[in-house]
Amino acid sequence: MSKIGIFFGTDTGSTRLIAKKIYGLLGEELADKPKNINRTSPDELLKYDALILGTPSYGVGDLPGRDVGCQEANWAEFVPRLDDADLSGKRVALFGLGHQERYASRFASSLIKLYQVFHGKGASIVGRWSTEGYQFEHSASIIDNQFVGLVLDQRGQPHLTDERIKIWLEQVKPQLLTALAQAA
């Protein structure tokens, strides 16, 4: 059976840390080691039928990248390289980081951009997450009163991170494994 691919964008290392926690909980039998999106190719990402993609939030709901202050290439530089990729049949779970106090008016809003890119290319997005337990004014990453993926606040609520990841993985893992089984 194929494995779940885990890819992340990062600038400070926080999203990388979360990707490693997710990998640790899934284990090497189910997932490949997480890869920084600035050190991989579209072909590498596209070989997976089940993906977990993570992003920090930068700018005002932009994909993180050099144009919005990241020190290294990030999702903004990677996405154009997908060109006309067809992601039909791929199942994708998303996670994003944000700071609800400091950026209450745009909390974790970069996640919606990642959602729009992959959904727009035909991927099936799984793993919506409740907005309960967060304090913010607005987030563009909400559809039907839920975040489009797992949202974590490593600055304001780090004590909730591990439990949120665990609960979210219990939700998305069966859906991702079903995608792998269907592709086999």
**Rounded distance, CA 124 to CA 166, Å?**
21
| Dihedral angle sign, alpha carbons of residues 66, 72, 76, 81 | positive
Tell me, what's the pLDDT at 1? 52
Tokens of 83: 């060109």
Overall CATH class of domain 5-183: alpha beta
Strand order through the sheet with 146-147: 129-130, 146-147, 142-143
**Rounded distance, CA 3 to CA 22, Å?**
14
- The candidate with the shortest Cα–Cα distance to 112, out of 146, 135, 142, is 142
Angle at 52 between CA 49 and CA 54, to 5 degrees: 145
**Rounded distance, CA 94 to CA 119, Å?**
11
| Residues of the chain predicted below pLDDT 50 | none
Reported pTM: 0.94
Tell me, what's the pLDDT at 94? 97
Tell me, what's the pLDDT at 72? 86
Tell me, what's the pLDDT at 4? 97
Task: Say whether 76 sits in a helix, a strand or coil.
Answer: helix
Task: Say whether 182 sits in a helix, a strand or coil.
Answer: helix
Tell me, what's the pLDDT at 12? 80
Question: Exposure string (b/e) for 126-137, b if CB count within 10 Å is 16 or more?
Answer: bbbbeeeebebe
Query: Could you tell me if 156 and 101 are in contact, meaning their C-beta atoms sit under 8 angstroms apart?
Result: yes
Annotated domain spans of the chain: 5-183
pLDDT digits (tens, 9 = 90+) for 57-97: 876 677 888 887 778 888 989 999 998 899 999 999 999 98
Tell me, what's the pLDDT at 6? 98
